[in-house]
Amino acid sequence: MDVEGDSLIRAGNIVIIGRPNVGKSTLLNRLLGQKLSITADKPQTTRHRILGVLDRPDGQIALLDTPGIHRLAGRRALNQSLNRAALSGLSEADVIWFVVIAGQWDDEDDFILETLRREKKPVVLIVNKIDRLSDRRRLLPYLDNLKNLYPFTEIVPISALKGDNEKRLVEVSLCHLPSVQEKPYDPEYLTDRNLRFITAEFIREKIMRSLGEEVPYATAVTIDNFEEQSGLTRIAATIWVERKGQKAIVIGQKGERLKAIGSRARHSLENLLGTQVFLELWVKVRPGWQNDARFLQKLEMEEPRWPKN
Ligand SMILES: Nc1nc2c(ncn2[C@@H]2O[C@H](COP(=O)(O)OP(=O)(O)O)[C@@H](O)[C@H]2O)c(=O)[nH]1
Ligand SMILES: [Mg+2]
């Protein structure tokens, strides 16, 4: 007898939230087994919301990586747009993944928790970077403290970078997703973002990683040309900065820094695309782009997410 419900699977939306630098994008990439979201040892690396679909025999999770949330977003249009991007996914989430760093809890975490309280949705607290703890015995009292803060659905310690316990995270989260008859996405479907977008992001990652503290936040990347011909992809991109001095920094002495950024970017793009890549980079000054709503739109910062296919 075919009992109704026998073939049900779990599927739904999970939004990954947390302050900058806790490892949200690293976690998304690890779970998808592919680099989709750029990472760096700097806050504000992730500027856009990125959807990745995790497909399993018994379910499907649409995972939304978000920019880190800032308590003091300030007046800059860019910062406000980052907070909006991070928070607007919450309303359609079935489960929220709230990521913190093992052994740490600060004001920004409190601020996020207050926001989550209002959502009244299952919150799985992810305690990341457990590989960095010098003494694992300290983890237990820390986890006990967290339990008193909020009725988290689960608390799961993981290492997104080294890979530890992330399978359990998926298991415990699946059972809080709606039961459905069919997978919402084709099993081959990986992301809502197109190659041009991911290409611009990969270039921005190399800039983030190559420059010091100040300039990376003042840069944006647009793709001017993207052409695939047998075994070769020709890409032309512009790196936008806010001031002349920043342009000089990005280019470096005798163009050395720009060359290094270009060759690192080309290398990871060749991995991503599976073709040879010919990459041309230009650096241009656009004063005040972080406050220019139309330019931000061009960078796709305001686009609504959770697309249904
Ligand atoms: N040691 C350690 N580092 C991690 C772990 N997860 C992420 N990181 C590092 O933390 C930094 C920020 O990671 P990222 O994913 O960009 O953080 P996000 O801003 O929350 O998206 C990067 O340098 C990562 O390599 C982890 O589990 N262990
Ligand atoms: Mg990120």
What are 23-33's pLDDT values in tens digits?
999 999 999 98
Contact 247, 219 (CB under 8 A): no
Torsion of CA 222, 191, 23, 89, to 10 degrees: 90
Q: How far is the CA of 85 from the centre of ligand 2 (A)?
A: 12
Q: Which of 10, 94, 16 is nearest to 49 (CA)?
A: 16
Q: H/E element holding 142?
A: helix 139-149
What's the mean pLDDT in 167-196? 91
pLDDT at 302 over 70: no
Ligand 2 ion: Cβ-proximal residues, 5 Å cutoff: 24-25, 46
Q: What is the pLDDT of residues 102-135, one digit of tens each?
A: 999 998 899 889 889 988 899 999 999 999 998 8
Superfamily of the domain at 9-180: P-loop containing nucleotide triphosphate hydrolases (3.40.50.300)
Q: What digits encode the pLDDT tens for the residues 226-277?
A: 999 989 999 999 999 999 999 999 999 999 999 999 999 999 999 888 899 9
Ligand 1 geometric centre to CA of 246 (Å) = 27
pLDDT at 81 over 70: no
CATH 3.40.50.300 range(s) for the chain read 9-180
Strands 220-229 and 50-56: unpaired
Task: Give ranges for CATH 3.30.300.20 in the chain.
Answer: 195-298
| Whether pLDDT at 183 is above 60 | yes
* Spatial CA neighbour of 115 closest among 24, 25, 17, 28: 17
Mutation to probe ligand 1, out of 15, 22, 25, 26 (largest number of atoms < 8 A from CB): 26
82 pLDDT higher than 70? no
pLDDT band at 290 (very low <50, low <70, confident <90, very high): confident
Look at residue 156 in the predicted model and tell me its pLDDT. Answer: 98
- The CATH number of the structural domain formed by 195-298 is 3.30.300.20
pLDDT band per the 50, 70, 90 thresholds, residue 69: confident
What average pLDDT does range 127-146 have in this prediction?
94
pLDDT at 160: 98
Residue with CA at minimum distance from ligand 1 atom 23: 41
Ligand 1 site-directed mutation target among 25, 39, 129, most atoms within 8 Å of CB: 39
Contacts of 26 (CB under 8 A, 6+ apart): 39, 160, 161
